[in-house]
Amino acid sequence: MDQPVSSVPAGAEQGGGFAVEITGLYKWFGNFQALADVNLKVRNGERVVICGPSGSGKSTLIRCINALEDYQRGEVKVEGVALTNNLKRIDQIRREVGMVFQQFNLFPHLTVMENCTLAPIHVRKMPRNEAEAVARKFLERVRIPEQADKYPAQLSGGQQQRVAIARALCMNPKIMMFDEPTSSLDPEMVKEVLDTMVELAREGMTMLVVTHEMGFARQVANRMVFMDAGQIVEINTPEVFFSNPQHDRTRMFLSQILKNV
């Protein structure tokens, strides 16, 4: 498991262009500046891990990519499509970007299967039996095919998060975003979720991951992004980032979080 995932993204070999292009992004919550001049380009097939202290704007940044947050200045492009206020554009982008949340956010009144087929049926207009076949495939891939008829509350936290991953995958997204996917899990369940994510990385999925799991980052990331106070402080390869961080703030952060391990 600790073998690093191939460092050359599959998409880059094919010259696949950029999955996400963020230029000069600024965002304010009231008077509070949440993002300041953020520039980030993510290639197809690339896996970018974003870390930083709490309140540094990591989650806000990835939530801007699928328009869960709006922003005041700058530009976001997903698969070459510029994000605007146009609802059609937003829908188009959301179909291509899957998202996994810290709190899972499964729909508690629907079974695991219904959670997975809701969007394919009503957004992608897939026939029900086809959507169920797709859902079964992805539930198998996250190793919980036998839970399909249960309700989310009957599953453990780790199982719920894997259902959330399967639910996002059922929309057949080109990009997967993870917002602290293991932060609200019991320690014993972190690994099963990370294993699922490593597998996804092996298959060449473009991934943006906000996490503090540095072991996972080291194993999977093509590039590490470190943010502080709404700005990107350092972008580097994991080798350099962990062994020889260039910015003082990065060094301080890493010394804080790695000290206790």
Partner 1 sequence: MSDAARSPIVQVAVTEDDVFVRSQSVPVLPPPLVATGPIGWLRANLFSTPLNALLTVAVVALLVWLVPPLIRFLFIDATWSGADREACLAASDGAEGACWAFVRDRLAYFIYGSYPIAQRWRVDLFFAMLAFGVGWLLWLDAPRRALGALYFFVVMPVIAYVLLNGFPLIGLPSVDTALWGGVLVTVVVTTVGIVASLPLGILLALGRRSSLPVVRVASTLFIEFVRGVPLITVLFMASVMLPLFVPPAWAPDKLLRALVGIVLFSSAYMAEVVRGGLAAIPNGQYEAARALGLRFWRMQGFVVLPQALRITIPNIVNSFIALFKDTTLVFFVGIFDFLKTIEVARVDPKWATPVTSATGYAFAAIFYFVFCFLMARYADRIEYRLARADRR
State the residues that interact with partner 1 by CB under 8 A: 66-68, 87, 91, 94-95, 97-99, 101, 103, 105-109, 118-119, 122-123, 151, 153-154, 167-168, 171
| Dist. CA 147–CA 246, nearest whole Å | 46
Q: Is 224 helix (H, G, I), strand (E, B) or coil?
A: strand
Shortest distance in whole angstroms from residue 102 CB to partner 1: 9
Q: Is 21 exposed, middle or buried (0-12, 13-18, 19+ CB in 10 A)?
A: middle
CB of 132 to partner 1, least distance (A): 16
| Closer residue to partner 1 in complex, CB, 151/242 | 151
Closer residue to partner 1, CB minimum distance, 123 or 257: 123
Is the separation of the CB atoms in 10 and 202 below 8 Å?
A: no
Rounded to the nearest whole angstrom, what is the least distance from the CB of residue 223 to partner 1 in the complex? 24
- Of the candidates 33, 18, 130, which has an alpha carbon nearest to the alpha carbon of residue 72? 33
Q: Of 10 and 118, which has the nearer Cβ to partner 1? A: 118
Please enumerate in sequence order all residues whose Cβ is within 8 A of that of 17, keeping only pairs 6 or more positions apart, or say none.
Answer: 43, 44, 80
SS3 at position 46: coil
Q: Which of 244, 225, 100, 120 is nearest to 171 (CA)?
A: 120
CB nearer to partner 1: pick between 176 and 214:
176
Nearest CB to partner 1, comparing residues 51 and 106: 106
User: Residue 26 or residue 151: which is nearer to partner 1 going by CB?
Assistant: 151
| Minimal distance, residue 82 CB to partner 1, in Å | 18
d(CA 208, CA 210): 7
Phi (first) and psi of residue 178, to 5 degrees: -125, 125
Q: How far is the CB of 250 from partner 1 (least distance, A)?
A: 22
Give me the least distance between CB of 109 and partner 1, in Å please: 5
Query: Which C-beta is closer to partner 1: that of 94 or that of 223?
Result: 94
Please tell me the distance from the alpha carbon of residue 46 to that of residue 89, in angstroms, as a whole number: 23
Of the CA atoms within 13 Å of residue 114, those in its CB half-sphere come to 9
Compute the least distance from the CB of residue 151 to partner 1, in Å.
6
